[in-house]
């Protein structure tokens, strides 16, 4: 169990990134942000997060492509996938790539914080 976890927020919407950054920073975690998949993959190499909160729909590499590249580098890191589009095919692919949780947007911030807390205490 971590007292302080490293969390990477990956979302192309600045508002969502800032909200999650402030929320988890307020919970005393070490938080970094990436605006897209390529940036997330680069940050993975140096930041080494314990948990990644990632949007499915992003310009350039989408969440699935990004997840594939993340898994090529790190099989263990926990991933919560967020999406406003309940695309069954993408959800299946995400599950096959080992996501911990699938979250619909707009999400309930309290529910998300609780889910993150549960995940971080289980590890």
pLDDT digit string (tens) for 81-90? 998 876 778 8
| Beta carbons within 10 angstroms of residue 14's beta carbon | 10
pLDDT score of 117 more than 90: yes
pLDDT digits (tens, 9 = 90+) for 41-59: 999 999 999 999 999 999 9
- pTM exceeding the 0.75 threshold for the entire prediction: yes
Cβ contacts of 54 within 8 Å, gap of 6 or more:
8, 10, 11, 40, 63, 66, 67, 79, 80, 81, 82
């Amino acid at each position: 169990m971590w007292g302080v976890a490293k969390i990477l927020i990956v979302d192309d919407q600045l508002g969502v990134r800032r909200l999650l950054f402030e929320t988890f920073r307020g919970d005393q975690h070490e938080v970094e942000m990436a605006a897209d998949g390529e940036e997330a993959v680069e940050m993975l190499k140096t930041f080494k997060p314990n948990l990644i909160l990632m949007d499915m729909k992003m310009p350039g590499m989408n969440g699935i492509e990004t997840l594939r590249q993340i898994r090529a580098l790190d099989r263990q890191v926990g991933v919560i996938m967020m999406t406003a589009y309940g695309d069954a095919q993408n959800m299946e692919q995400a599950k096959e790539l080992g996501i911990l949780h699938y979250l619909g947007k707009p999400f309930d911030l309290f529910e998300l914080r609780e889910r993150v807390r549960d995940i971080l205490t289980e590890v």
